[in-house]
């Protein structure tokens, strides 16, 4: 019941004065019927969030803008991390990549540095600049 009370306190004051007692009574009845208190509280939490967003359309716009900014920031950070770690990981993986996955025509391994062309992605094999296949 403590979770439920906490959830009910998340509603706007006007809502609480209008529905608060009734909502607490409803929660008691539902718990008596066997509904878990956590699920009731969660439902009230969600209801409180949507009530606040409905009552304050500007906040809804703000929340949307905030979410977009947060997504953009996290994407930027991810890309920055990827781009900073890519050269290092490429340097670490190049010898094993050449040895394990690429087979030059007629040879099992090649110590010659290879370059993968970007304009031939067809099929399962990638044509390498001097006749090797991946």
Partner 1 sequence: MAPGEEERRGAGGQDVLRRAGDASVLILTSLAGGSRHGYALIKDIKAFAGVELGPGTLYGALDRLERLDLIEALPAEDRRHPYRITPAGVTALRAHLDSIERVRVAGRLRLGLGGI
Binding of partner 1 at residue 67 (CB under 8 A)? no
**Which of 21, 73, 90, 109 is in the footprint of partner 1 by CB under 8 A?**
21
47-86: b (≥16 Cβ within 10 Å) or e: bbeebbeeeeeeeeeeeeeeeeeeeeeeeeeeeeeeeeee
Binding of partner 1 at residue 26 (CB under 8 A)? yes
* Burial category of 27 from C-beta neighbours within 10 Å (exposed 0-12, middle 13-18, buried 19 and up): buried
Binding of partner 1 at residue 92 (CB under 8 A)? no
x/- binding map, residues 30-59, to partner 1, per CB under 8 A? x--------xx-xxxxxxx-xx--x-----
- For partner 1, give the closer residue by CB, 7 or 128: 7
Instruction: Name the site residues for partner 1 (rule: CB under 8 A).
Output: 7, 15, 19, 21-23, 25-27, 29-30, 39-40, 42-48, 50-51, 54
């Amino acid at each position: 019941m403590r979770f439920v009370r906490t959830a009910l306190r998340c509603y706007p004051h006007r809502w609480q004065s209008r529905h608060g007692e009734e909502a607490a009574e409803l929660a008691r009845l539902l718990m008596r019927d066997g509904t878990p208190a956590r699920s009731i509280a969660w439902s009230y939490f969600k209801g409180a969030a949507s009530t606040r967003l409905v009552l304050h359309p500007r906040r809804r716009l703000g929340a949307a803008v905030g979410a977009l900014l947060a997504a953009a920031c996290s994407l930027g950070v991810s890309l920055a991390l990827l781009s900073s770690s890519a050269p290092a990981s490429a340097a670490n993986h190049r010898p094993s990549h050449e040895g394990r996955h690429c087979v030059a025509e007629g040879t099992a391994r090649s110590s010659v540095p290879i370059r993968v062309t970007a304009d031939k992605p067809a099929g399962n094999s990638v044509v390498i600049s001097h006749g090797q296949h991946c």
